[in-house]
Amino acid sequence: MKYISTRGDQTQRGFAEILLEGLAPDGGLYLPTHYPKVDDATLTKWRGLSYAELAFEILSLYIDDIPAADLKALTAKTYTKAVYGFDEITPLKHLEPGLCLQALSNGPTLAFKDMAMQLLGNLFEYELGRRGESLNILGATSGDTGSAAEYAMRGKKGVRVFMLSPNGRMSPFQQAQMFSLQDPNIHNIAVEGVFDDCQDIVKAVSNDLAFKRQYKIGTVNSINWARLLAQVVYYFAGYFYATKANTEKVSFTVPSGNFGNVCAGHVARMMGLPVDQLVVATNENNVLDEFFRTGTYRVRGTAETYETSSPSMDISKASNFERFVFDLLGRDGAACKALFKDAVEKQGGFTLPAETFAKVPGYGFASGTSNHANRLDTIRATFEADGTLIDTHTADGLKVAREHMKPGTTMIVLETALPAKFEETIVEATGQRPARPHWISGLDGLEQLPKRFVVCPKDTQWVKDYVVQHCQD
Ligand SMILES: *Cc1c(COP(=O)(O)O)cnc(C)c1O
């Protein structure tokens, strides 16, 4: 399998090459040249596999430059009960007839980002080892991505993580999770500013190409194709858990921000997974809902991006959305570039005519939005029904899912975080303090552990100097 850019550069690259890269050189995102089709016989064969075996089968369709035996060992090492708490890795929980949750948040940092990041950590270590190279990952986080990256990369050979976060602005749990790590290859840098300041520093460092090359700076953000590919696996797993025969269809509702999670669902459907609807659920930051209702994609600025009680979805520029639009446009790279380089950068967005949607059959997307009051109501009602506690992002998904259910088609809501991660709102809704998962050690008393971090000014040069001083450790 080879990979191309969404912006028209026709150079074809292998998986191992794009693994360690962020954007394509022309500023586009990488996608495979085509989506391998999975037929009925293959679906039947895959039904009986363990999660790790299923991951290997799906990944091997997209990766031909890592020997099969090595890839098999990597997936087996990644998707274990020890890490994810359950044999099924992403088990279903039935809420009521035709409606269930799929748990994607049982990994070490209690959010679905672990599903892909854990694999990425193992792939990075493997590929860097094979090349005899090392990589300094520089990132910015408001909470979930940073902790998932650090738990995936801690102790990995050849990888160092420099993670910027806004000083004092993460939840106490998120901060304790990251700052309590004592691994020498993990560096927490608390910036005296907000998330956007952290992001700006990362961009400024990445734009200094000479520095980036000399100090081998890399990223693990959600545009990385390997992360998206890892996420395709749980759509297949969820389908197999929810159905008995390949003639059945299911729908998925996905709490969305950067469009990374639901984009993996799109890829799964393009491969032939029998999915009826993909429902995009947003919070008060409803850029994507607006697009799927009206065809208009209008990026919002910082001032128009609201801070909500489902903070991992407080995103107003969905970085993975370009991949879906590329497919929607019949994979016309020049047209895609005109929208994302010219229209988004110059006019802040674009509108796709209704014919563009109509032309492409099978693109069945639906969408909806949720707010703080909806979130509280949904968390409370779900708890009162049978004692199930859900987190705020999953609540946005469940609220929207109920608006799109169809008789005869199971609706699967992706659970993207555990309630223990967003305690405050759960207590507000139910008066209950959610339990922390027992299969993850060290969570009780986490906030009391010694913290390892440095505070830095809003200063790009300071961060560069810090990387230079610590990239030989
Ligand atoms: C990252 C995240 C999301 C949004 O996922 P995208 O791939 O950015 O759409 C939703 N919920 C939680 C808990 C997350 O951490």
The string of pLDDT tens digits covering residues 262-310 is 999 999 999 999 999 999 999 999 999 999 988 899 998 878 888 899 9
Residue 234 · residue 75 · CB < 8 Å: no
Q: How confident is residue 196, by pLDDT bands cut at 50, 70 and 90?
A: confident
Q: Per-residue pLDDT averaged across 71-87, rounded?
A: 97
Residue 218 · residue 135 · CB < 8 Å: yes
The pLDDT score that the predictor gives to residue 209 is 87
Residue nearest ligand 1's atom 8 by CA = 258
DSSP-derived letter for residue 283 is -
Strands 3-5 and 186-191: unpaired
Q: How far is the CA of 260 from the centre of ligand 1 (A)?
A: 8
Q: Is the CB of 19 under 6 A from ligand 1?
A: no
In whole numbers, what is the pLDDT of the chain averaged over residues? 94
Is pLDDT of 361 > 90?
no
Q: Per-residue pLDDT averaged across 40-65, rounded?
A: 98
Q: How far apart are alpha carbons 125 and 161 in whole angstroms?
A: 13
Q: Is the CB of 417 under 6 A from ligand 1?
A: yes
Q: How confident is residue 405, by pLDDT bands cut at 50, 70 and 90?
A: very high
Residue nearest ligand 1's atom 1 by CA = 312
Strand-pair partners of 254 = 280
Q: How far is the CA of 258 from the centre of ligand 1 (A)?
A: 7
CA 390 to each of CA 61, 145, 416: distance values in angstroms, whole numbers, following the listed order: 34, 20, 10
**CB count, 10 Å around CB of 155?**
12
Q: Per-residue pLDDT averaged across 4-32, rounded?
A: 92
Q: How confident is residue 158, by pLDDT bands cut at 50, 70 and 90?
A: very high
Is pLDDT of 131 > 60?
yes
Strands 99-103 and 30-32: unpaired
Is pLDDT of 362 > 60?
no
**Would you please indicate which residues are annotated as catalytic (active-site) residues?**
113
**Burial code of 342-364, b = ≥16 C-beta within 10 A, e = fewer?**
ebbeeeebbebeeebeeeeeebe
Residue 170 · residue 223 · CB < 8 Å: no
CA 350 to each of CA 89, 272, 297, 298, 335: distance values in angstroms, whole numbers, following the listed order: 39, 30, 5, 7, 12
Q: How confident is residue 113, by pLDDT bands cut at 50, 70 and 90?
A: very high
DSSP-derived letter for residue 120 is H
The pLDDT score that the predictor gives to residue 364 is 84
Mutating to test ligand 1, I would choose from 171, 256, 278, 279 the residue with most ligand atoms within 8 A of its C-beta, which is: 256
Q: How confident is residue 441, by pLDDT bands cut at 50, 70 and 90?
A: confident
The pLDDT score that the predictor gives to residue 310 is 92
Q: How far is the CA of 360 from the centre of ligand 1 (A)?
A: 27
Q: How confident is residue 376, by pLDDT bands cut at 50, 70 and 90?
A: very high
Q: What's the pTM?
A: 0.96
Mutating to test ligand 1, I would choose from 29, 115, 144 the residue with most ligand atoms within 8 A of its C-beta, which is: 144
Give the H/E segment covering residue 199: helix 195-207
Q: Is the CB of 312 under 6 A from ligand 1?
A: yes
Mutating to test ligand 1, I would choose from 283, 322, 393 the residue with most ligand atoms within 8 A of its C-beta, which is: 393
Q: Which of 6-15, 170-179, 269-278 has the lowest mean pLDDT?
A: 170-179
Residue, of 206 and 108, whose pLDDT is higher: 108
Q: All domains of the chain, ordered by start, with CATH?
A: 92-110+225-430 (3.40.50.1100)
Q: How far apart are alpha carbons 410 and 401 in whole angstroms?
A: 11
Percent of the chain with pLDDT over 70: 99
**The ligand 1 atom nearest the CA atom of 259:** 9
The pLDDT score that the predictor gives to residue 360 is 61
Q: How confident is residue 259, by pLDDT bands cut at 50, 70 and 90?
A: very high
The pLDDT score that the predictor gives to residue 359 is 64
pLDDT in tens, 418-436: 999 999 999 999 999 999 9
Residue tagged 């990387």 (tokens)? 467
